[in-house]
Chain A
Amino acid sequence: MNVFEELKKIIVEIKDIPEDEIQLEAKFAEDLEADSLDIVEMLMLLEEKFDIQIPEEEAAKLKTVKNVVDYVEAKLQ
């Protein structure tokens, strides 16, 4: 599974925005207007999809789409 593609699907589901607007550099809060609960939900769906755990202190550092993609890919190695 491609992490970026899966993450985009989740963001489309949560925020109802067109997929092509979701860039790797996008910041969740500023560019995607995601609130704190949106981000919690997004990470829960990722945990489920990739069968991983994202500890809270790590989650707090994930500010952009790229941060999340890199983090999940590293976890999957």
Chain B
Amino acid sequence: MTARRVVITGLGMISPIGNNKKDFWDNLIEGRGGIGQIDRFDASDFPTRIAAQVKDFNVQDYIPRKDARRMDLFVQYACSAARIAVEDAGLQLDAAEAPRVGVWIGSGIGGIQTFEEQHAKMLQKGVNGLSPFFIPMMISNMAAGQVAIMLGARGPNGCTVTACASGSNSIGEALQLIRLGKADVMIAGGTEASITPVAVGGFCAMKALSTANEDPSRACRPFDIKRDGFVMGEGAAILVLEEMEHALRRGARIYAELAGYGASADAVHMVQPDIEGRGAALAFSMALADAGIKPEEVDYINAHGTGTELNDQVETRAIKSVFAEHSYQMLVSSTKPYTGHMLGAAGAIELIASVLSLVNNSVPPTLNLEEPDPLCDLDYVPGKARQKELKVVLSDSLGFGGHNAALVIRKI
């Protein structure tokens, strides 16, 4: 039996810079970021009062109201993005196909908004004040569960929780399931809706967030010497992954091949990355070997690039250890200044950005990169978008817990 190859045939997103792929791409390539003041709750006492919030989202455009009211916002985002992705793929699910279609959607935190609301009710009214929907709305796997219900997708279903690598790991696991023959189609990605008082406050307590409250559009500054932390984002990004023969048979538009996946652990610290970048490097090498691609064939890396000192330096070190001299020939950029850090959705939205870069032969610039950190000396595409013929793109995500994941896509 020849190996089963997997292609990407559908893209869907609810994001701080657009809820369709045209707006999303136009904003990326024209350098318009989505970070602003938090208006979801009163953040006036918070050290950080900025985030990249989803805009113009009306859940009833995608899901019936009576279903939506039983969903935490992170599930609403996931179901909406999944509907967009499936439509984009032109995929029709019938009863015969349903057992061969699976769903794998990661989330870093799950339904924390529901958790906060219900906890407040319990404090006010006691245990009888808790809603029967508290648990089913809050659990992280419910995005994958609800998307399956919405689509009637009866194949493998689950949720990988690896903090900021959840989206990438979920897509990687979905790729494996198709290769193993457990499914022909996987609806895969990540979702997050954690711009809530407790979650923002928790990241503030870690001193992980930028406090550039007066100048939100310039707050997220990956690889720049004046960076001061990451900026939270939210939303969902979902891709339709499909066994290549299956996609060809139905005449689907193929964006790219999902050619390789690597995953590793730093195994050193809860939240600080391995200072030598060995964990990330291992994930890069594993993904390249899995794809049968040499390091020098990679044209562009959509980096994790959070805009924290440790991440930017460690990620750069990891890239150099794997790509050696080629590190200086290829392009590396971060799209987090646009979307903020979408946490469990980050890897998925960045894979979508990578796919659109590959298709358009164009790399979005790293916004706000004015004076590079001397330890970050690669071509991070400052200033304006760069036109370049792209054949292979790598996207990586590095999560609290020391989780590293890398995905490689190839033009076909």
Contact = CB atoms under 8 A, between A and B. Distances in A.
Asked if A and B bind, the verdict is yes
Contact of B133 (A15, A16, A41): A41
Contacts of A41: 131-133
B65 interface: yes
Contact of A16 (B65, B131, B132, B136): B65
11 contacts: A14-B66, A15-B66, A16-B64, A16-B66, A37-B132, A37-B133, A37-B136, A41-B131, A41-B133, A44-B131, A44-B132
Interface residues of B, number: 7
Interface string A3-29: 000000000001110000000000000
Contacts of A60: none
A40 interface: yes
Nearest to A13: B69
- In the A-B complex, the 5 residue pairs with the smallest Cβ-Cβ separation, listed nearest first, are A16-B66, A40-B132, A37-B132, A16-B65, A41-B132
Contacts of B133: 37, 41
B378 to A, nearest CB: 52
Given A15-B66, A37-B132, 8 more contacts: A14-B66, A16-B65, A16-B66, A40-B132, A41-B132, A41-B133, A44-B131, A44-B132
Nearest to A47: B128
Contacts of B66: 14-16
Contacts of A40: 132
Nearest to A39: B132
Contacts of B64: 16
Interface in A29-65: 37, 40-41, 44
A16 B131 CA distance: 19
Contacts of A16: 64-66
Contacts of A15: 66
Interface of A: 14-16, 37, 40-41, 44
B367 to A, nearest CB: 42
Most chain-B Cβ atoms within 10 A of its Cβ — which of A14, A16, A40? A16
Interface of A is mostly: helix
Interface string B63-80: 011100000000000000
A35 to B, nearest CB: 10
Nearest to B130: A44
A14 B70 CA distance: 9
A46 to B, nearest CB: 13
Contacts of A44: 131-132
Contacts of A14: 66
A50 B135 CA distance: 26
Contacts of B65: 16
Interface string B129-167: 001110010000000000000000000000000000000
A40 B128 CA distance: 11
Nearest to B67: A16
A70 B214 CA distance: 59
B28 to A, nearest CB: 37
A44 B132 CA distance: 9
A44 B66 CA distance: 18
Nearest to A12: B66
B287 to A, nearest CB: 42
Nearest to B129: A44
Nearest to A40: B132
A28 to B, nearest CB: 14
A46 B66 CA distance: 19
A37 B136 CA distance: 10
A40 B133 CA distance: 10
Nearest to A14: B66
A44 B133 CA distance: 12
Interface in B89-141: 131-133, 136
Interface string B38-75: 00000000000000000000000000111000000000
B407 to A, nearest CB: 38
A44 B65 CA distance: 20
A62 B133 CA distance: 20
A44 B64 CA distance: 23
Contacts of A37: 132-133, 136
A16 B67 CA distance: 9
